[in-house]
Amino acid sequence: GQNIDQPTEMTATEGAIVQINCTYQTSGFNGLFWYQQHAGEAPTFLSYNVLDGLEEKGRFSSFLSRSKGYSYLLLKELQMKDSASYLCAVTDYKLSFGAGTTVTVRA
């Protein structure tokens, strides 16, 4: 089975940096996804990591350590529109999601 943990909520100030951690214990692992979901909307793909290390995409970066069962999503230069839930998901032959982290950005 899959056990995926991430914090429930985080709050940060506009312009700041926030790091969302995700730890997993899984029977199989073929990669880790991060999705963003605004309230009342569909989740949208942010990043995919399969090898250890950091993947950078503009203001968003994602890190993976397979030996530690650990990933984080780094959001830099926070904007109000970044207020959303962020979902960590691990794939073997199907995708298993964590419960999501709700990030609130304050002015």
Partner 1 sequence: DVKVTQSSRYLVKRTGEKVFLECVQDMDHENMFWYRQDPGLGLRLIYFSYDVKMKEKGDIPEGYSVSREKKERFSLILESASTNQTSMYLCASSLTQGENQPQHFGDGTRLSIL
* 3-state SS track over the chain: CEEEECCCEEEEECCCCEEEEEEEEECCCCCEEEEEECCCCCCEEEEEECCCEEEEECCEEEEEECCCCEEEEEECCCCHHHCEEEEEEEECCCEEECCCEEEEEEC
20 touches partner 1 by CB under 8 A:
no
61 touches partner 1 by CB under 8 A:
no
31 touches partner 1 by CB under 8 A:
yes
45 touches partner 1 by CB under 8 A:
yes
* Interface size with partner 1, residues (CB under 8 A): 23
60 touches partner 1 by CB under 8 A:
no
List residues near partner 1 by CB under 8 A: 8, 30-31, 33, 41-45, 48, 50, 87, 89, 91-100
